[in-house]
């Protein structure tokens, strides 16, 4: 993606980072106009990174480029401070257009998500599984997704830089919010949810 962006006449990549920590350090060294953020980052949460960028570097525009096409990821990203949300599967031209649009001060959402927004507004489904997951906080959602990816509690704590006890507290709250009675039920629910996210319904 970086090489494709650099081929355009009006855009240039000035740095790349593999983790939240690297991204924040890079911005201290040279502040970009736009930060293109992936929600699936090593050593932290993409949502948390958006919040940190907005707090530390308010002049930097955040555009999310991700594989997550669920509407609530887009909503959470925009609430956290992102100005655009585009899918990795979109064409290079659309990604470049998204960058240009947010540079103009506009909010950019890919066509697919625009149609989902319209459909949801016309026919909301408050009892759907996705609606139940939407009740989770940003941090609870991160824990829930990692559980669904098979990560044990200690590994989740390490990835999110929190204590094991904190992760256990989040797991308990997730069970309550989703109306689940056991940790096993939550794990199964999380696995099915992650599979749906990947386009492989259980």
Could you give the domains of the chain? 2-121 (3.40.50.2300), 129-197 (1.10.10.10)
CA–CA dist 159, 17 (Å, integer) = 17
Residue 202, pLDDT > 50, answer no
Summarised one tens digit per residue, pLDDT across range 20-52 is: 888 999 999 888 999 999 887 766 678 889 999
In percent, how much of the chain has pLDDT > 70? 86
Summarised one tens digit per residue, pLDDT across range 138-166 is: 889 889 989 998 999 999 998 888 899 99
Give the ranges where 44-163 is alpha helix by DSSP (H).
46-56, 71-80, 92-103, 111-122, 129-134, 138-148, 153-160
Mean pLDDT score of the chain? 85
**How much is the pTM?**
0.71
Residue 81, pLDDT > 60, answer yes
CA–CA dist 70, 88 (Å, integer) = 13
Report which of residues 120 and 191 the model is more confident about: 191
Summarised one tens digit per residue, pLDDT across range 105-145 is: 999 988 777 776 676 666 655 545 556 888 888 889 889 98
Q: Which residues on neighbouring strands pair with residue 19, listed in sequence order? A: 42
């Amino acid at each position: 993606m970086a090489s494709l962006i650099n081929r355009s006449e009006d855009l240039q990549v000035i740095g790349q980072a593999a983790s939240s920590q690297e991204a924040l350090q890079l911005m201290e060294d040279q502040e970009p106009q736009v930060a293109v953020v992936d929600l699936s980052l090593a050593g932290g949460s993409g949502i948390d990174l958006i919040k940190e960028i907005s707090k530390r570097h308010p002049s930097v525009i955040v555009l999310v480029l991700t594989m997550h096409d669920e509407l609530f990821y887009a909503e959470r990203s925009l609430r956290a401070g992102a100005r655009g949300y585009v899918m990795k599967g979109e064409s290079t031209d659309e990604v470049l257009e998204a960058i240009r649009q947010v540079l103009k001060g506009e909010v950019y959402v890919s066509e697919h998500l625009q149609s989902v927004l319209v459909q949801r507004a016309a026919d909301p489904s408050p009892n759907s599984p996705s609606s139940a997951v939407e009740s989770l906080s940003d941090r609870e959602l991160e824990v829930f997704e990692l559980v669904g990816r098979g990560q044990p509690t200690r590994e989740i704590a390490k990835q999110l830089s929190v204590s094991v006890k904190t992760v256990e507290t989040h797991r308990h709250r997730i069970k309550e919010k989703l109306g689940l009675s056991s940790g096993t039920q939550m794990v199964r629910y999380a696995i099915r949810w992650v599979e749906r996210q990947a386009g492989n319904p259980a």
